[in-house]
Amino acid sequence: MLELFYDLIFVYAISRMTMMIHHLHSGNLSPVIYGEFIIVVIMVLQLWLYQTVYINRFGTSRTIDTIGLLVSMFVAIYLANNINTEWRTTFHSYNLAMLLTIINMLFQYCYGSGTQLRRDRDVQGFVIVLGIELIFFITGLLLGYHYGIYLCVIGGLIGFLAPLAMYKMYQPSQVNFPHLVERLSLIIIITFGETLVNITQYFNGAIYSPLPIIIFAGVAALFGVYTLLVERFLNHHQHTRGFVAMYTHIIMIISLLSITAGIIYLKNDQASRTFISLFIAGSLVIFYLCLWIYSCYNQHHLQFSNYDFAAMIIILCLGVIGIFLQKNSNLGLMTAFASANIIEFGLMEWRLHHPLKQH
């Protein structure tokens, strides 16, 4: 229950991150703004991941775990409240919140893990990465915005990417994979919730209007594809470090929020229709690529064959072409989007009922 309480602040944080790309300039989304958006998503969600990984590997609902989680949540509120595209104005507040969260995580890993730092290579790996990240944020804050912003960004990216370089330090035996899948699924559900909140602006007028029906069907089918994979295809009981699961979910969240923003842009008469179609189509492709990579955890008899991948890729490509060809029609564009997701869901349902033969 406390983990769910902790997740509530990320409902707000995800909403704030989506707002970063709500507005277009001259009919397009600035690459700089989108780059800032990606960096912020990575920096915020890597803190969520570090807390999740700590609970997954070492959390036992002790007093130190409870206090650490509540401190993380308290600081995360300040962090979320300072998410925007005007980094200069919130430089100190935002990065100080990041710094305090990193210190809290270091404390939890060092003193709350219940293991000795010298003996547990998992703890060593996380402490090393968080320690390096801490140094970059302290130095960045001391230097101030003009130069320090670069160090803070580098520190955040190190915290996100460094575990990949230290991959072999982490032991699969310490990972509670069912719990990890559950936690990652929850953050995806929160992200889909943000999508649903934003598409409500189309639900005006007659309840049988075709556009809101098609938009809802497309989002629901995309959620169905993800849910079907997680609930029916994955082998929840396996020994794995879970790195593929964690990194693909960060990218899936970025793509989902981008799709959400793309749907919002449809109401903007000044927006470039070519940009909107390519933005939605590209984000959809990235989401499916991550989902297919995530399927490496599938049960043996439900692994996707080359024919499965070929069929799903063809459907996705046809959906992308349809989105582009119907770019001047909101209804046509979203019909292509929905059709691709519905057919992808149908293909996965077919595979579920026609598993690979056991040898």
Query: What DSSP assignment string belongs to 80-140?
Result: HHT-SS-HHHHHHHHHHHHHHHHHHHHHIIIIISSS-TTT-HHHHHHHHHHHHHHHHHHHH
Amino acid at 1: M
Q: In the predicted model, what is the mean pLDDT of residues 84-95?
A: 90
Q: In the predicted model, what is the mean pLDDT of residues 102-120?
A: 79
pLDDT value, residue 321: 98
Q: What is the pTM of this model?
A: 0.94
pLDDT value, residue 116: 61
pLDDT at 91 over 60: yes
79 vs 60: CA distance, rounded Å? 26
Q: Indicate the range of 29-43, 103-117, 204-218, 335-349 predicted with least confidence.
A: 103-117
pLDDT at 338 over 90: yes
Radius of gyration of the chain (CA): 21
The dihedral sign for the CA sequence 242, 71, 131, 119: negative
Q: In the predicted model, what is the mean pLDDT of residues 155-163?
A: 94
- DSSP 8-class letter at 270: T
B/e letters for 157-171, b = 16+ CB within 10 Å, e = fewer, are bbbbebbeeeeebbe
Average pLDDT over the chain, rounded to whole? Answer: 92
22 vs 342: CA distance, rounded Å? 27
pLDDT value, residue 57: 86
pLDDT value, residue 25: 85
Q: Indicate the range of 108-112, 158-162, 170-174, 225-229 predicted with least confidence.
A: 108-112
Residues 248-265 have pLDDT tens digits of: 999 999 999 999 999 999
More confident residue, 251 or 125: 251
Q: Specify whether the CB–CB gap between 332 and 326 falls below 8 A.
A: yes
53 vs 176: CA distance, rounded Å? 9
- State the helix-helix crossing angle for 2-19 and 63-81, rounded to 10 degrees: 20
pLDDT value, residue 359: 45
Return the percentage of the chain with pLDDT > 70, whole number: 97
CA angle 334, 288, 292 (to 5 degrees): 155
pLDDT at 221 over 50: yes
For 196, 248, 274, the CA distances from 322, given in Å and listed in that order, are 23, 26, 13
- State the helix-helix crossing angle for 306-325 and 273-294, rounded to 10 degrees: 170
Residues 305-332 have pLDDT tens digits of: 999 999 999 999 999 999 999 999 999 9
H or E segment and range at residue 320: helix 306-325
pLDDT value, residue 115: 63
Enter the tokens of residue 249.
């979910």
140 vs 281: CA distance, rounded Å? 37
- From the CB of residue 208, how many other CB atoms can be counted at a distance below 10 Å? 7
- DSSP 8-class letter at 29: -
Q: Given the structure tokens 């000044």, which residue do they identify?
A: 270
pLDDT value, residue 119: 67
DSSP H stretches of helix in 266-303: 273-294
Residues 178-205 have pLDDT tens digits of: 999 999 999 999 999 999 999 999 998 7
pLDDT at 59 over 80: no
pLDDT at 95 over 50: yes
Q: Greatest CA span in the chain, whole angstroms?
A: 65
**Spatial CB neighbours of 288, under 8 Å, sequence gap ≥ 6:** 312, 316, 344
